[in-house]
Amino acid sequence: MDSLLFDFEKEKLPAPVVLATMGLIALFALGIPLRVLVTLL
């Protein structure tokens, strides 16, 4: 994860783009386990 943040800083991407990317990663990271739990229950 640190390398990704460093890459973002080097590329100097706009903050909204970085936030949106982090948001999508968080949604996938949280959403997939939740879906698995729901399907198992």
Q: What is the 3-state secondary structure (H, E, C) of the chain?
A: CHHHHHHHHHHCCCHHHHHHHHHHHHHHHHHHHHHHHHHHC
- pLDDT tens for the 41 residues of the chain, in order: 556 555 655 667 788 888 999 999 999 999 998 899 899 88
Domain that holds residue 35: 2-40
pLDDT of residue 4: 57
C-alpha distances in Å from residue 12, one per residue of 6, 17, 21, 36:
10, 10, 14, 36
Q: Which residues contact 23 (CB under 8 A, 6 or more apart)?
A: none
- The pTM assigned to this predicted structure is 0.48
How many domains would you assign to the chain? 1
pLDDT of residue 18: 86
